[in-house]
Structure 1
Amino acid sequence: MRKTIRTYSFLAFGIALLLISCDKTQIFDAYHTFQDGWDKKNSVIFTFDQEVSKKPNNMFINIRSNNDYEFNNLFLITKLEQPSGLIKVDTLEYEMADLDGNMLGQGFSDIKESKLWYKENVKFPEKGKYKISISQAVRKTGKVKGVEKLKGITEIGFRIETSQVE
């Protein structure tokens, strides 16, 4: 019995490794985990080295959330800094639940992963270290002050994919 469990575990690990290594579109993929919600004061920062790109790339923000997330939407402020210091700021809104309050995204348990478009067909104009900062900017309806601690967001990720596979 133990030998069978080890065999299945080894087989599952091998299949997962194979699937990950077959991802030819991935350029960058990283996650940040929250222990007890996402504090309004804590921006999540990802840094990555990039060559000048002639091929277009797509950027995504990945959100893992659970049923403790009490809002239908998610508001984010992003700051993308180029090696020269040029900063591009965006305010983004994403739908996180359907009209019945069911969480959107992929997953079979109460944790759902949403792959959210950030920028499409981006070419990196400079070689060097890029930095993206992501902050949550959720507010309750009719309130000016933002939600101090956003519960239900377990992880946030940032991913860059090439949009052209050779």
Structure 2
Amino acid sequence: MSLFQKVAFLVFSLSVLLVLSSCGSDSLYENHKELENGFWEANNLQSFDVSIDDTQNHSIYYHLRYTLDYDYCNSYVRYKIFSPTGKLLTQKMKSDTLFDCKTGKPLGEGFGKVYNREFELEPNFNFSEKGIYKIELEQMMRQDSLEGIQTVGLRITN
């Protein structure tokens, strides 16, 4: 990563933190995992262990931080949600758009080469028991190595 990319990443990260902290966040959980060298490998499953202390419904979102090096306008992600006992509760494929397919313009928030988007996975997921849920995200783009995906994140809100 060049010095410019590091500085841009730092400024972008601080901006996101400032915006999130000033919004009175209703997040129960938020975690972001940086991908080595800006590539999301097909075999690099992103797994999040989420502690849920109630039995209410919550919304689940995932984040992608990506660069102009990403070669497609869309992304396909498969997600799985497992109960605290390990039972598979849901498995779905999600298609989302990162760039305008006609113009190539990035649709996320950001500047320079780095952009960030959040997508809804489950608007009202029923967490029926307390405990540690596992949520897995897997890229499904028919390419073993996706260039331009820097970070994959997960957020759960009230």
Scaled by the length of structure 1, the TM-score of the pair is: 0.78
1:113 maps to which of 105, 108, 116? 116
Q: Distance in 1 between matches of 2:58 and 2:42?
A: 29
Give 5+ residue unaligned stretches, structure 2: 1-13
Give the counterpart of 1:90 among 70, 88, 92: 92
Structure 1 unaligned segments of length 5 or more: list them.
1-12, 139-145
AA matched with 2:123: E
**CA distance, structure 2, for counterparts of residue 120 and residue 158 of structure 1:** 13
> What letter matches 1:28 in structure 2?
Y
Pair 1:122–1:147, CA change in 2 (3 A): same
Equivalent of 1:155 in 136, 151, 154: 151
**Aligned positions, number:** 140
User: In percent, how many aligned pairs have the same letter?
Assistant: 25
| Cα shift readout 1:86-128 (whole Å, capped 9, x = no counterpart) | 2111111101110211111111221110011111022310111
- Structure with higher Rg: it is 1
What is the rounded CA distance, in whole Å, between the counterparts of 1:17 and 1:68 in structure 2? 26
More strand by share: 2
Question: Take 2:25 and 2:63, find their aligned partners in 1: how far apart are those partners?
Answer: 18
Counterpart selection for 1:47 from 46, 49, 53: 49
Task: State TM-score, norm by structure 2.
Answer: 0.81
